[in-house]
Amino acid sequence: MPIIATGSEIVETVRIAKMIETHGEQFLERVYTADEIEYCVQ
């Protein structure tokens, strides 16, 4: 039986910003869904 759960992680925004600067779109697409990316760029 699969486990269905939700979760969240708390990460410093500076760390995420550095990852986006370094890895760009590749990082975003690997970590976030298309809907999440679209929501954030609005």
pLDDT tens for 5-41 read: 777 778 888 999 999 999 999 999 999 999 999 998 8
Tell me what pLDDT residue 22 has. 97
State pTM to two decimals: 0.63
Whole-angstrom Cα distance, residue 33 to residue 23?
A: 16
Residue 2 pLDDT class (50, 70, 90 cuts)? confident
Q: Kindly state the helix (H) or strand (E) to which residue 33 belongs, with its residue range.
A: none
pLDDT at residue 8, as a whole number: 76
Provide the pLDDT for residue 32.
92
Confidence tier at 3 by pLDDT (50, 70, 90): confident
Contacts of 28 (CB under 8 A, 6+ apart): 20, 37
